[in-house]
Amino acid sequence: MGLCEAGQHLMHPNAQWPASRGLREHAILQLCIFEDKPVQALYLRSFGSDNLSLAEHALAEPSEHEVVVRLEAASVNPRDSQIIAGHFTPNVEFPLIPLSDGAGIVTSVGSAVSRFKVGDRVTSLFFPHWHIGEATSGERAISTGLEAPGVAREVAVFHEQSLSAFPKHLSAAEAACYPCAGLTAWSALFDKSHIGEGSWVLVQGTGGVATMGLQLAKAAGAKVIVISSSSDKLNQAAALGADHLINYVDTPDWGQRAFELSGHGVDAVLEIGGTATLENSLNAIRHGGHINIIGYMAGIDMGITVFPLIIKNANFHGIGTGNRESYERLLDFVGAHEIHPVIHQRFPLAQLQQALHTLDTESPFGKVVVEMDGME
């Protein structure tokens, strides 16, 4: 049975639809034209992880600029959990193949493909159309695992411009950790904060973005302060190379403590908490320092007054991953330093619901990954 016969309506990641057609209608037309064979994917039929189920979907032959990828692994981000639960946006076209960050091997290429060959190992892009510079609204309008089908499947067809090759020292499971969390940390620390040898970085927590930020900053020669409420996780952060550890339960004025440890204030903060942590982050930075707002685990209101921002000449950056050019600089850096991301736990794709539960309830140290072997 073909994809259209089965009634699926999944948008091709690089579809260019005419203005006269709606998104849903064009998605069906785009996929109906292919000769296909069934492969398995994990579908979200309606909001709630209980509504995830494995089913066959159609595999298209690649057009001249497209690439077929046998996906081996995907990582799970808080955004994925929020989308599946219905907390990210109500505007979801069902059924949806979730997850944005996948990695695998190229098995077939279109006749005009120049970026890849069969056998290359590649990852997806979080924003498949955002390749260079600041994003236009159109380049950010389509993200993998929401507006475009995600990577929770065995095989997928991508436009060659919507993939990047990953370093040889990484496994697929490791490479799948980088498209969202890794690029977010890189964009914050290197593209916005311009850290380097001798810089001071404050990292909040020990999740995916935080642990990658710690690893990247240390590889660049920076000093890193990590805060957490868990002594065990702080010890793990020390094993990754953290220079200073602060338990924020024991030291509620941790921003001032970070300022003192650095001697002059930190150069950059990976701000993941939100409302409850911004004041301390502001206290931690040097004059002209950078606060990179990545998450909102402790609330979404700013909750601070303007005057201290002026006094410190503070730089605030909202970080929403980054472009392909920046991502490939990240991958080159990871390859040059042979960095391996921290994987907290691995699950087979069929157990995505358990993986989501682990992400949501266990505050993992590092990333949660699903692998495509044993999908049945």
Is residue 205 in some structural domain?
A: yes
Is residue 332 in some structural domain?
A: no
Q: Are residues 127 and 227 in the same domain?
A: no
Distance separating alpha carbons of residues 82 and 356, to the nearest angstrom = 10
Q: Are residues 165 and 194 in the same domain?
A: no
Q: Are residues 307 and 348 in the same domain?
A: no
Is residue 16 in some structural domain?
A: no
> Cβ of 288: how many Cβ atoms within 10 Å?
11
Tell me which residue range forms the domain holding 253.
181-318
Is residue 232 in some structural domain?
A: yes
Q: Which of the 8 DSSP states describes residue 11?
A: P
Q: Are residues 29 and 151 in the same domain?
A: yes
Q: Are residues 173 and 28 in the same domain?
A: yes
For residue 16, what are the contacts with CB-CB under 8 A and spacing of at least 6? none
The residue written with tokens 């159309």 in the block is 129
Q: Are residues 229 and 132 in the same domain?
A: no
Pairing of strands 52-60, 121-124: unpaired
Q: Are residues 215 and 165 in the same domain?
A: no
CB 270, CB 201: distance < 8 Å: yes
Residue 247's Cβ-count burial label (10 Å; 0-12, 13-18, 19+) is: middle
Q: Which of the 8 DSSP states describes residue 119?
A: T
Is residue 376 in some structural domain?
A: no
Q: Are residues 191 and 156 in the same domain?
A: no
Q: Are residues 297 and 360 in the same domain?
A: no
What CATH number does residue 137 fall under?
Answer: 3.90.180.10
Q: Are residues 362 and 283 in the same domain?
A: no
Name the pTM for this structure. Answer: 0.88
Closest CA to 11 of 157, 179, 161: 157
Total domains in the fold of the chain = 2
**pLDDT tens, N- to C-terminus, the chain (376 residues):** 222 222 223 333 333 333 332 333 233 223 333 334 578 999 999 999 999 999 998 777 889 999 999 999 999 999 999 999 999 999 999 999 999 999 999 999 999 999 999 999 999 999 999 999 999 989 999 999 999 999 999 999 999 999 999 999 999 999 999 999 999 999 999 999 999 999 999 999 999 999 999 999 999 999 999 999 999 999 999 999 999 999 999 999 999 999 999 999 999 999 998 788 999 999 999 999 999 999 765 556 666 677 778 889 999 999 999 999 999 999 999 999 999 999 999 999 999 999 999 999 999 999 999 999 855 5
